Amino acid sequence: MGKTCLRAVIDHPDLELVGLYVYSDKKTGKDAGEIARRKPTGIIATRDMEEILALDADVVIHAPRIQFPYSFHNKDICRLLASGKNLISINGYTFPNYHGAAYATEFEQACRQGNSSLFGTGLNPGFVVEKIAAAATGLCTELESIFAQEVFDVIGVPDSDYLFNVCGIGSDPRKIDLRSSGPVSELITGMYSEVIALLVHRLGMTLERIEPDHRVTLAPQDIQARAGTVRAGTVAATNWCWHGIVEGRRFITLSVNWIMGSGLPEFEEYDHWKISIRGKPGIDIAMNISETEPGKERTKPEQYGVAGSVINAIPEICAAPPGIFHIPVFAPYRQRF
Q: What is the mean pLDDT of each run of 10 residues along the chain (337 residues)?
A: 96 98 96 97 98 98 93 97 98 97 98 98 96 97 97 91 88 82 87 97 96 94 94 95 97 97 89 97 96 74 95 97 94 84
Give residue 299's pLDDT: 87
Of 286, 287, 187, 297, the residue nearest 240 (C-alpha): 187
Q: What is the pTM of this model?
A: 0.94
- Residues 6 or more apart whose CB falls under 8 angstroms from that of 102 comprise none
Give residue 276's pLDDT: 98
Give residue 295's pLDDT: 63
Q: What is the CA radius of gyration of the chain?
A: 20
Give pLDDT tens digits for 162-186: 899 888 899 998 888 787 768 888 9
* Contact by Cβ (8 Å): 62, 107: no
Between the alpha carbon of residue 63 and those of residues 15, 69, 250, the distances in Å are: 17, 16, 33
Q: Residue 72 carries which DSSP code?
A: G
Give residue 103's pLDDT: 97
